Amino acid sequence: MTEPTGPTEPIEPTEPGDFLRTVLAAEAAEVVPTGDGLYHIQARVARRRHTLRWLRPVTAVAVLAAAAGVAVALTSNTGGPASLLAASPSATPNATTPPSPSTTPATTKPAASGPTLPAGTLGLWPFRTPAEVSAWSSGYAHSGQAAWHLDPAATAASFTTGYLGYTEDNQVLASTHTATDAKVTVGYATPDGHTAPSAVIHLVRFGSGSTAPWEVVGTDDTSFTITTPGYGVSVQSPVTVSGRITGVDENIQVQVHQPSSQSPLGSSCCQSAGGSYVPWSAAVSFAGASDPVLTIAAATGGHVVAVERFAVTGVHAIPGTGSSAPPNGYPASFVGVRDNRIAVFASSDGQLQHYLTVPVAGGTASDPQLTDNAYWVYYIQSQGGCATTLMKVAYTGGNPVTVAAPTATAIIGFGTARGEQRLAYIAQACGGAAQDLVAIDTTTGATNRILTPGAPPGFASDPTWAPDGQHLAVIVRTGTAQHLAVYDAFTAHTVGDEQAATPCGQESPGSQLSHPVFDTAGSLLVAIASGGPGSVGSCAGGHLTTLFSLANAGAIAGLDATPDGSAILVSAFPATGGTAQVSRWVAGALSALPGASGSAWASW
């Protein structure tokens, strides 16, 4: 991972809207202010709600300017559909669109009796097997379900924004197809009202006839390519991914995906590159490969949107591999707060790498959390008064986006899951005591509110989503005591509607739990306060197991872990007073990260 040599400045923020903001605006309209201010909220939250989220290495740092020889324009077009990507004189389209059958190392070979793909192609998405195609065909013939599979443009758009998670690349700029083959140019809107292309998606029919669904098989690449690994080869973790790129100050992210997983199997960021059709290379570790075909995606961006160009290729995982951990057993970097700005720190020693946001006059930035699709950092921004705004900024840098800004209301905690498909936040009206825990399914707009009549009882931590995307865990304070509570996010209505059992079981009267964080297996990490040094434990099946204690530490300020729980990041205040100190715990060893001193918030 190549980082800038010193802190770099982000682009000045704007506030573009999106579907999520629309949903949240409707929710915010229902929060009624009840007085003249909750200025005390900021201080209380700073004491009790410092939550950490581990940062999976992700995308690139900002693109600064286009080189004279860039083949795909990084500026917008002049209106109307963008032209297809054009090759530079020195570049030939290659790599991630399927090669001819004679040069393809491996192909998808469905059973002869079922739907098939053209020879030499791999099915990347949405169907994994002929059986899945047959099941969809039966449902479509019976009721017309999921008819979008018959539209190559809709399929390409869903592949880009849903599967890859490039949510800002939501424009279809051009689409051409024959009866069996399609090329769809996708791109993004620019602030001046134009559009720019990011990739050309190649699709084919999975089966024969006009009712065979479309399947993504690759991209047609020019100024940004993947040449290694070759299309259709078998790979194991870690895999070296390389290609060529034309551009200036590019920083490249690489991710490994499979259709059955909600999040990437592995990520690598950021590889610096620049020049005219120059080589680039990055190694990425991945785990959990089980599908017939994996998608390797490389992306660069950050000047206008998070991803401004991308390329993909298809590979197979060698059986029994794909379980390697990152080289050091933990991600390479994490996000935190420095100088009231969201910033990136090195995981080796905590040194500041660069900033993601600019200062806001009189305001503070807090509680950064990375979405589990590893593209957005959500955070809370204050303007110096009671009310706060929920914001997000791409890890590539760029323009912060307003997610929720309820009137005269403080957002005092939040959590995301499944990329941005799940969001929960805690809102408290300025001057009031009642709190709302709002849960939103952003794919459907379904919303539920869990209410508290006053504080106490009140919510005393960020909510954390269980792997099922249906349940939330949060700390509930009842006067001088607090306990862990689990709610059905979409059926509970009051603070008393908590589940009868929690992963931690019966809590000890002599200790208090805080800062819950779910891992992908459903275990729950928690901070434990029992009068002595702060400890960290893991809950599963109704039992709490202490993992380690922090010598000479008082209150734990925040806690997070890698998805499998094998590496933990913890922030704690010294028992003798002072600023929060960040440490990482891997394989039983606790190491201080002195460079991040003072950042009680962090996300890895």
In a domain, 64, yes or no: no
Lowest mean pLDDT among 41-55, 242-256, 467-481: 41-55
In a domain, 6, yes or no: no
The pLDDT of residue 592 is above 50:
yes
Same domain, 299 and 369: no
Q: What is the mean pLDDT of residues 411-427?
A: 89
Would you call 125 helix, strand, or coil by DSSP?
A: strand
Lowest mean pLDDT among 153-167, 258-272, 551-565: 551-565
In a domain, 89, yes or no: no
The pLDDT of residue 327 is above 70:
no
The pLDDT of residue 38 is above 80:
no
Give 486 or 247, the one with higher predicted confidence: 486
Quote the tokens at residue 489: 């996010």
Same domain, 290 and 389: no
SS (H, E, C) 194-217: CEEEEEEEEEEECCCCCCCCEEEE
CB burial readout 29-64, b (16+ within 10 A) else e? eebebeeeebeebbeebeebbbbbbbbbbbbbbbbe
DSSP state of 559: E
- pLDDT band for position 4 (50/70/90)? very low
Same domain, 107 and 29: no
Q: What is the mean pLDDT of residues 215-226?
A: 94
Q: Cβ(341)–Cβ(360) under 8 Å?
A: no
pLDDT tens-place string over residues 445-494: 899 999 998 778 999 999 999 988 899 999 998 877 889 999 999 999 99
Q: How far apart are the first and last CA of the chain?
A: 15
Sheet holding 581-586, edge to edge: 553-561, 567-574, 581-586, 589-592
pTM above 0.85, yes or no: no
- Radius of gyration over alpha carbons of the chain, in Å? 24
Task: Quote the number of domains for the chain.
Answer: 2
Q: What is the mean pLDDT of residues 7-22?
A: 38
Sign of CA dihedral 398, 399, 403, 407: positive
Examine the fold and report which residue of 285, 317, 349 is the final residue of a domain before the chain moves on: 317
Peptide bond connecting 229 to the previous residue in cis, omega within 30 degrees of 0: yes
Quote the tokens at residue 18: 């999106």
- pLDDT band for position 374 (50/70/90)? low
Q: What is the pLDDT of residue 24?
A: 53
Q: What is the pLDDT of residue 288?
A: 85
Quote the tokens at residue 6: 């010193």
In a domain, 9, yes or no: no
pLDDT tens-place string over residues 54-100: 433 333 322 222 322 323 322 222 222 222 222 222 223 333 444 33
Cα Dmax for the chain: 74
Residue 385 lies in domain: 19-57+327-603
Determine the Cα–Cα distance for residues 406 and 360; give it in Å rounded to an integer.
18
Q: What is the mean pLDDT of residues 273-289?
A: 89
Q: What is the pLDDT of residue 393?
A: 87
Same domain, 313 and 332: no
In a domain, 8, yes or no: no
Determine the Cα–Cα distance for residues 310 and 322; give it in Å rounded to an integer.
23
DSSP state of 411: E
Residue 142's CATH number = 2.60.40.10
The pLDDT of residue 190 is above 90:
yes
Of 43-47, 310-314, 406-410, highest mean pLDDT: 310-314
The pLDDT of residue 556 is above 50:
yes
Q: What is the pLDDT of residue 419?
A: 67
Same domain, 460 and 521: yes
Q: What is the pLDDT of residue 173?
A: 96
Same domain, 34 and 167: no
Number of Cβ within a 10 Å radius of residue 532? 14
Same domain, 211 and 356: no
Q: What is the pLDDT of residue 16?
A: 30
Give 166 or 271, the one with higher predicted confidence: 166
Q: Which residues contact 124 (CB under 8 A, 6 or more apart)?
A: 159, 215, 216, 217, 218, 293, 295, 312, 314
Lowest mean pLDDT among 78-87, 262-271, 566-575: 78-87
Quote the tokens at residue 176: 């051409």
Lowest mean pLDDT among 337-346, 433-442, 563-572: 563-572
Averaged confidence pLDDT in the chain: 79
In a domain, 567, yes or no: yes
Q: Cβ(270)–Cβ(60) under 8 Å?
A: yes
Q: What is the pLDDT of residue 92?
A: 30
Same domain, 119 and 42: no
Q: Cβ(398)–Cβ(62) under 8 Å?
A: yes
In a domain, 63, yes or no: no
Q: Cβ(571)–Cβ(602) under 8 Å?
A: yes
Q: Cβ(235)–Cβ(216) under 8 Å?
A: no
Residue 473's CATH number = 2.120.10.30
